[in-house]
Structure 1
């Protein structure tokens, strides 16, 4: 029971870290667009350096968001799926080193290679915009450096996101099997099934599974996937807040119910005596 309670306390800290990563991601994205627009109007070396810093910040915040989504999945596995409780010394510190340290190391390597700068985005309608991001133009005119930027972008963004989504998807399936699988819980009525389905839906947003739409933004479903990706992931912080609020209210209700039960037992003992 002590280990379970400690893990529940850790859950709030992990939710907070993910919320902070999402906030930094949104702020850095807005700043990167502003920095790129500023550079196009004033093409000076100091402005170029600012865009490189903003591009590095955007990359770091994105990787931190992916990392904390993976940590959410790992923590849920240890909390809900794993049968035997285990104690990890300095659990939150190790998670923080993974969630913030790994993106910092990756960003440092990319910054040393000087791959950050203005990046041009184009759509099918030939509309374009520029942000501060991983940029082939900042890598110089050498062909191999352009290939290096493309490889880094694929490994640190697309492949990393795919690995996180695969891991969290498996975790969600395991949790779904625990909630909706055969057994005593499966015969408790339609209301319980609906509550479990809503729980899985909320967990899918906490685990960041709607980010998978970014990997589907190609072909005939490009526009639909892009709009859904923008709406759902733009509201991920809101969904996370609602999820934490629901868990907090439920925990308070359980604590109040337990307190009332203990009071009833004490009153019964007094009456019997």
Structure 2
């Protein structure tokens, strides 16, 4: 998700001078390498001390206790899990803010004096919601899963993040459909322009018209 944020930044914010050699290869090394290091460290120290195991949790303001498989080692939880997630979340939130600002500026510049601003605003809202799922901002609900809102937030966290892939699928389908509509519209406009500017042969060469 952080790599997707970098890609969006290059496409919509930086725009110019965004060519990098072996771009996909570099992103793949980072995307698989950084998590691979974390998993490698976890496997290396798992024999020294147990990291995962049965952990009892108590729901807020209740006496109900459940046992789940979770991270038992507190330093490992804060260092390898929570800190890693927090860095990605803060980075992606900043990229989302910059991309959203860029989209709003482009729409305001392109819609001056044009009707249908309400529909454009609705499309912008859908775009931002799609980017929210694409960048994994819904995972930020984990920060609010403590206290009296524990149970509702956990339900929302489970629903939104289990459907994250489906939301991304819908967003990509909507974007692809918009691109196809734009291409078709441009083809129609180009054909109409070529037809209006082209002169018939009989007008260009009246002597070749047998009726004259």
For Structure 1 versus Structure 2, the TM-score category normalised by the shorter chain is 0.7 to 0.9
Larger radius of gyration: 2
Which runs of 5 or more residues in structure 1 are unaligned?
A: 1-68, 137-148
CA distance in 2, matches of 1:272, 1:217: 72
CA distance in 2, matches of 1:237, 1:226: 18
- Greater fraction helix: 1
Aligned-partner SS, 2:125: helix
CA distance in 2, matches of 1:75, 1:272: 49
Correspondent of 2:27 among 95, 101, 105: 95
Contact 1:120 1:130 in 2 (8 A): yes
Cα 1:90–1:249 shift into 2, 3 Å: same
Instruction: Determine if the alignment matches structure 1 residue 120 to structure 2 residue 48.
Output: no
How many residue pairs were aligned?
A: 191
Contact 1:172 1:204 in 2 (8 A): yes
The Cα RMSD (Å) is 2.2
CA distance in 2, matches of 1:185, 1:261: 18
Which runs of 5 or more residues in structure 2 are unaligned?
A: 202-212
Structure-2-length-normalised TM-score: 0.80
Contact 1:179 1:185 in 2 (8 A): no
CA-to-partner distance for each residue in 1:91-139, whole Å, 9 max, x for gaps?
Answer: 11111111111111111111100144423242324332333x54x3xxx
* Alignment partner, residue 105 of structure 1: 37
CA distance in 1, matches of 2:67, 2:186: 57
Instruction: Determine if the alignment matches structure 1 residue 163 to structure 2 residue 87.
Output: yes
Structure-1-length-normalised TM-score: 0.63
CA distance in 1, matches of 2:89, 2:167: 18
Instruction: Determine if the alignment matches structure 1 residue 80 to structure 2 residue 12.
Output: yes
